[in-house]
Structure 1
Amino acid sequence: MNSTQFSYLALVAYVDTGLLKYLYFIIVLSLYILIICSNLLLIVVICMNRSLHEPMYMFLCSLFVNELFGSSGLFPFLLTQILSDIHTVSASLCYLQIFCVYSYGSIEHLNLAIMSYDRYLAICYPLQYNTRMSYNKVAIFIATTWLLIFLVNFVTISLVVPLQLCGDVINKVYCDYHSVVKLACYDTTVSNIYGLFVTAISVFCPLTLILYTYMRILKVCFSGSKQTRQKAVSTCTPHLASLLNFSFGACFEILQSRFNMNSVPNMLRIFLSLYFLTCPPLFNPVMYGLKLSKIHVICKSLI
């Protein structure tokens, strides 16, 4: 097969919608502005109020920063493509978007896993919580999460950039690692094995921690007092909701990347592929802002 190093890649999942593209542009732009405003508001609230300088809220701050990061890797690109008549992307921008999207997903999942561990310590070991989850440990957890994921995804991009491609067509509305690897002319065993390994580690290790912590929390709730159960419900409900919301979108994206999903209608496939990049950044600030009383009271007073 003839191979080459394409300067541009074509995104063929976009549909010609005529004048409706301006309506879609306004809708997507409104969503992006809402994501930026809601996440920035809670970041500022947490950083500016000393009463919120607790481990749970610092992990939340990391979560909101990551959602701004992931949204910025998608929405400006998406807005440009909606208005454009030619849906192409430069190879360098494509690789940068892959790095941003995959880093966002991995950081989000790992951050949620660490938050479940934090809730486990707060509910199961309330008297030892401040020593087991000190400010230094919080900083180490957050810094390690970001640096480790960036390093892993830097290696991912370094494996895909040198590939010689036999095609330039990606059947998505944004760049995807597996879609680019499928275009490679030659053996991609190393890239595939590394991709599977990273996916397995980034999914199953955090998931194991989440399942373990919630099993212990449930055990304490069933054997504990009514006050303990109320504390568990009030702090774990928003976390569980955001975890399920993110997991739904991430699972579909993993399945779509690995298996043939042509039987799913194109518009539904586009919506579900964008779900984990759009719904968690919209949903989480609202959920935590309403459910956590400290944040709710401060946001209400500011507004």
Structure 2
Amino acid sequence: MDNVSFIKLFFLSGLNETMNSRVALFSLTLLCYGLVLLVNVSLIVIIILDKKLHEPMYILLCTFCMNGLYGTAGFYPKFLIDLLSPAHVISYSGCLIQALVIYSFACGDLSILAVMAYDRYVAICRPLQYHSIMSKKRLTKLVCFSWLTPFCIIATNIFLTSRLKLCSPYIARLFCVNWIIVELACFPAETTVNNIVAYITIIIYVFHGVFIVWSYMYLIKTCVDSVENRAKFMQTCVPHLTSLLTFLLTVIFDIMLIRYGSNDLPQAFRNFVAIEFLVIPPIVNPLIYGFKLSKIRNRIIFVTIKHK
């Protein structure tokens, strides 16, 4: 039992320097989370209720929004409680679950974007075969892949972390981060397997990103000579590219801060960079798709006029 952690609670120290403005932060966070719930649930309900939207692209979009709700549920409720509490603590098991939820959400977003890129490739480059390729059976498999694969990969990382003996209960963040928990291990030599699996995970999702970029470069090349394909690309692919760019920028900023950031930077700035992938994409993505995709936009306008 030597490798079992005796730590029962973790102390989250990311809020220590910003508690003077906790009422304003609580109000802003509550507003932000309410907006996340509103835009994502609205889009999900519209897609589910409108049979005309029961197409692969919109079902994948529905999956995208559900993943956003899943990931933000792992952060916002606990963060709101912390803003009203004098002590910012989380149980050992709760910390591991939070890390699992937040990072499987982030990896899930990239997986769903990869599936969306494949869907757009088939729709534009092989339109006559689209419905046979993107059948209900294959769509179900792709949705399961985009959810279950990230969950299993991150769960493997979390399981390896749970086997480590930890020597410190202090996490200098607003939420639990797997790599920080690994750094708290008493014997660095024990973390070799964790580091190997972490690097494998990074490589897997770098390949996801490469596949997405290659897909859209190929689509752009294909659409250049066709007015019809250019219109289809602008209508359905631009939202995907915007979502991808938003996701990559928020994650890259966080990684750059972790790798090159200085402790002299304001705590509030470091906190925002750390959580921006939980704030910006879950709000921006549904709005982009809602305004850009004509079928969804028309449905929203119809519902709005009907209830006036």
TM range (shorter): over 0.9
CA contact 1:123–1:228 (8 Å) conserved in 2: yes
Q: 1:196 aligns with which of 194, 199, 218?
A: 199
CA contact 1:249–1:276 (8 Å) conserved in 2: yes
User: Cα 1:267–1:16, aligned 2, differ >3 Å: closer, same or farther?
Assistant: closer
User: How far did residue 40 of structure 1 move?
Assistant: 0.7
User: How far did residue 31 of structure 1 move?
Assistant: 0.9
Q: Deviations over 1:159-215 (max 9, x none)?
A: 01121111111111110001100000112111111111112212x221121122112
Distance (Å, rounded) in 1 between the aligned partners of 2:13 and 2:217: 45
User: Cα 1:67–1:117, aligned 2, differ >3 Å: closer, same or farther?
Assistant: same
Distance (Å, rounded) in 1 between the aligned partners of 2:134 and 2:176: 38
Alignment of 1:76-91 (within 5 A): 76-91=77-92
Aligned equivalent of 2:95 = 94
Aligned equivalent of 2:218 = 216
Distance (Å, rounded) in 2 between the aligned partners of 1:5 and 1:256: 31
Aligned equivalent of 1:138 = 139
Report the secondary structure of 1:223's partner residue: coil
User: How far did residue 50 of structure 1 move?
Assistant: 0.8
The root-mean-square deviation of aligned C-alpha atoms, in Å, is 1.6
Distance (Å, rounded) in 1 between the aligned partners of 2:157 and 2:88: 25
CA contact 1:67–1:104 (8 Å) conserved in 2: yes
Q: Tell me which amino acid in the other structure corresponds to 1:216.
A: Y
TM-score calculated relative to the size of structure 2: 0.93
Report the secondary structure of 1:141's partner residue: helix
Distance (Å, rounded) in 1 between the aligned partners of 2:271 and 2:284: 19
Q: Tell me which amino acid in the other structure corresponds to 1:229.
A: R
User: Cα 1:285–1:267, aligned 2, differ >3 Å: closer, same or farther?
Assistant: same
Distance (Å, rounded) in 2 between the aligned partners of 1:76 and 1:18: 17
Distance (Å, rounded) in 1 between the aligned partners of 2:74 and 2:283: 15
Distance (Å, rounded) in 2 between the aligned partners of 1:134 and 1:261: 50
Q: Tell me which amino acid in the other structure corresponds to 2:220.
A: L
Distance (Å, rounded) in 2 between the aligned partners of 1:64 and 1:112: 12
User: How far did residue 37 of structure 1 move?
Assistant: 1.4
Aligned equivalent of 2:166 = 165
User: How far did residue 9 of structure 1 move?
Assistant: 1.0
Aligned equivalent of 1:241 = 242
Distance (Å, rounded) in 1 between the aligned partners of 2:154 and 2:186: 22
CA contact 2:17–2:267 (8 Å) conserved in 1: no
CA contact 1:178–1:257 (8 Å) conserved in 2: no
Q: Which moved more, 1:102-111 or 1:258-267?
A: 258-267
Q: After the TM superposition, which parts of structure 1 deviate over 6 Å for at least 4 consecutive aligned residues?
A: none
Q: Deviations over 1:24-74 (max 9, x none)?
A: 111101111111111111111111111001110010010000000001000
Aligned equivalent of 2:68 = 67
Distance (Å, rounded) in 2 between the aligned partners of 1:260 and 1:30: 29
Distance (Å, rounded) in 2 between the aligned partners of 1:68 and 1:9: 25
User: In the comparison of the two structures, how many residue pairs are matched?
Assistant: 299
Q: Which moved more, 1:61-70 or 1:17-26?
A: 17-26
Distance (Å, rounded) in 1 between the aligned partners of 2:38 and 2:125: 35
Q: Deviations over 1:223-282 (max 9, x none)?
A: 22x222111111111111111001111123334445554354322111011011111110
Report the secondary structure of 1:228's partner residue: helix
CA contact 1:179–1:257 (8 Å) conserved in 2: no
Q: Tell me which amino acid in the other structure corresponds to 1:76.
A: P
Aligned equivalent of 1:232 = 233
Distance (Å, rounded) in 1 between the aligned partners of 2:159 and 2:208: 25
Aligned equivalent of 1:184 = 185
Report the secondary structure of 2:163's partner residue: coil
Q: Which moved more, 1:147-156 or 1:73-82?
A: 147-156
Distance (Å, rounded) in 2 between the aligned partners of 1:299 and 1:246: 25
Report the secondary structure of 2:75's partner residue: helix
Distance (Å, rounded) in 2 between the aligned partners of 1:135 and 1:261: 50
Q: Tell me which amino acid in the other structure corresponds to 1:215.
A: M
Aligned-residue identity in percent:
35
